[in-house]
Structure 1
Amino acid sequence: MAKKTDKEKKPNIFVRAGRRIKKFFRDTKSEIKKIAWPTPKATFKNMGIVLLAIVIIGAFIFALDSGLYALLGLVMHVSN
């Protein structure tokens, strides 16, 4: 069986980890370049839609809660 020479030896763990970290950041940078970022106009439009949806859902939940509270008051008042 032939002995391994210095060139055939696997690099130590720190060298391998360094290469993996370097490759990770290189790949991350290339992926970030592929992102299609929205324009400020599109961002504000989407923000308006989200805020409108929050207000509508909040009003619905408020109305439902108030109605159920009034119904509970009627049921509790009748039982006395």
Structure 2
Amino acid sequence: MAKKSKTQKAKASAARQQRKAEREQEALNPQPAVAEAAESEKKKGSFFKKSSESESESSDNGKASKKSEDKPKKKKRFQFFRDVKAEMKRVTWPTRTDVLRWSGVVVVALLFFGVFVAVLDNAIITPLLVLISGIGA
């Protein structure tokens, strides 16, 4: 296991102190902390359910829980396509001139290396192989 840097240690210490302060605050006022946690969870739009939510769903009858399970699955099915669409909007697309310019660079590089390999093969390698095979015979 790698050693932690001073920055990592400081961040971990600050996080511990913050959790400790939250626990002390929760001990003094238990209800507001629970309400804040529920509101922050709703704002985050978490993909994972908290254990208290899953317990409350399991206490309902079986039909209601099956219906509630079907709806998120359907949403998740199309969520991928929504995410793709949102991500494609964030992409910085190259301009037409950039595409043409870089396509030209690729074509020129392919031609150069094609000629280079052909010259290397026909002018150097082939005569060298003929010379080596002619000496042996």
With normalisation by structure 1, the TM-score equals 0.78
Greater RCO, 1 or 2 (C-alpha within 8 Å, sep 6+): 2
- Work out the CA distance in 1 between the residues paired with 2:114 and 2:108: 10
Q: Is 1:42 matched with 2:80?
A: no
1:1-50 C-alpha deviation (Å, 9 max, x unpaired): x952368614345x333111221111111101001111111101000100
Aligned-residue sequence identity (percent) comes to 28
Report the CA distance shift for 1:72/1:7 in structure 2 as closer, same or farther (over 3 A): same
- Do structure 1's residue 54 and structure 2's residue 110 form an aligned pair? yes
In structure 2, distance between residues paired with 1:68 and 1:76: 12
Alignment of 1:22 onto 2:78? yes
1:72 matches 2:129: yes
2:52 matches 1:9: no
TM-score, normalised with respect to structure 2: 0.49
How big is the shift at 1:78?
A: 2.4
C-alpha separation between the residues in 2 aligned to 1:40 and 1:70? 46
Greater fraction helix: 2
Moved more, 20-29 or 30-39: 20-29
Ranges in structure 1 where 5+ consecutive residues have no aligned partner: none
Question: Partner of 1:33 in structure 2?
Answer: 89
Q: Deviations over 1:41-60 (max 9, x none)?
A: 11010001000110111112
**Deviation >2 Å, runs of 4+:** 5-8, 10-13
